Structure 1
Amino acid sequence: MIRYSLVCEAGHGFESWFPSSDSFDTQVARGLVTCPVCESASVSKALMVPSIARTDRDRTPAAPPPQAEAPVALIAEPERQLRAMLKALREHVVANSEHVGDRFPEEARRIHYGEAEGRAIYGEASPTEARALIEEGIDVAAIPILPDDRN
């Protein structure tokens, strides 16, 4: 097992254990290693100081320097189940709705006001656009993108 000090793109430091260096590389490439603080899948190895013994001193081992506790990235079974349900929800929406891309806010309004055929749609909207739709009484829901969905 290998313990790596990791850091996300937001600068949050944490540690995690991997069976091998190759396993770390594979998991990062698949987006499976996420920051426990901000959920970012953009993580990399942090600088680690190697432990190298000096031969020109006496053999009395010095006490290791104290290290700050860092959160460890582990996915518990309830989170695995939640991710599976969210993935199933996303797959259902994709299979049973029309993708309208970044035209989502306009198309949702057209459907709501009877200017277009009523149907299930999905696409992209900024938080501001989604908030405006909700304030107009248009039912919309955000579907989170999971790290596995980015690959």
Structure 2
Amino acid sequence: MIHYSLKCADGHQFESWFQSAAAFDKLQAAGHVACAVCGSAQVEKALMAPRVNHAAPADAPKQSLSEPANPAEQALARMREHVEKHSTYVGGSFAKEARAMHLGDTPERPIWGEANPTEAKALIEDGIPIAPLPFTPTRKSN
């Protein structure tokens, strides 16, 4: 695969992937490469700096793709850990559990789980305090 920065005759710039340089040339000659903004078929490659991958030193720490790489990912990981440690996962029963606590039918406790958009909207409209979490559950629900 090859990645190109492209530019149309109207000056719109966009990027696209092609199977190879020859595939780009063939598609362009057949008029199948079009501007992503205006649809013009008058498209050419734009000036682009090549990506150069540098080899890491042998003593550089190795990082798994599943480990948080930047401060935002690290903050999300800490948040997930806190939520999982200090609340009860109720899975797809979240809306039912939240409503029961709000009505006083069950004791209040910190919970988290899933709700579909209709359920979440109904909870909000009924004044039940909820908030979306910026991560998906790691636990399997049956």
- TM-score between the two structures when normalised by the length of structure 1: 0.48
**Higher-Rg member (1/2):** 2
Indicate the SS of the match to 2:84: helix
**Offset at 1:95?**
0.6
Other-structure match for 2:20: 49
Q: For 2:113 and 2:46, locate their aligned partners in 1 and report how far apart those are by CA, in whole Å.
A: 46
Q: For 1:122 and 1:132, locate their aligned partners in 2 and report how far apart those are by CA, in whole Å.
A: 17
Is 2:134 the counterpart of 1:144?
Answer: yes
**Offset at 1:90?**
1.6
**Offset at 1:121?**
0.5
Q: Report if the CA contact (8 A) 2:86-2:110 is conserved.
A: yes
- TM-score between the two structures when normalised by the length of structure 2: 0.50
Other-structure match for 2:45: 66
Q: For 1:4 and 1:90, locate their aligned partners in 2 and report how far apart those are by CA, in whole Å.
A: 37
Q: For 1:47 and 1:135, locate their aligned partners in 2 and report how far apart those are by CA, in whole Å.
A: 48
Is 2:87 the counterpart of 1:87?
Answer: no
* 1:73-112 equivalences in 2 (<5 Å): 80-112=70-102
Q: For 2:15 and 2:118, locate their aligned partners in 1 and report how far apart those are by CA, in whole Å.
A: 32
The count of corresponding residues between Structure 1 and Structure 2 is 88
Q: For 1:136 and 1:130, locate their aligned partners in 2 and report how far apart those are by CA, in whole Å.
A: 10
Unmatched 5+ residue regions in structure 1?
A: 7-12, 16-45, 52-64, 73-78
Q: For 1:84 and 1:132, locate their aligned partners in 2 and report how far apart those are by CA, in whole Å.
A: 33
**Offset at 1:83?**
2.3
**Offset at 1:91?**
1.3
Q: Report if the CA contact (8 A) 2:98-2:128 is conserved.
A: yes
| Residue 105 (structure 2) aligned to one of 115, 120, 126 | 115
Moved over 6 A (4+): none
Aligned-partner residue type, residue 48 of structure 1: Q
Pick closer, same or farther for the CA change 1:84–1:124 going to 2, 3 Å.
same
Q: Report if the CA contact (8 A) 2:123-2:129 is conserved.
A: yes
Q: For 2:132 and 2:15, locate their aligned partners in 1 and report how far apart those are by CA, in whole Å.
A: 29
**Offset at 1:85?**
1.3
Q: Deviations over 1:5-43 (max 9, x none)?
A: 39xxxxxx967xxxxxxxxxxxxxxxxxxxxxxxxxxxx
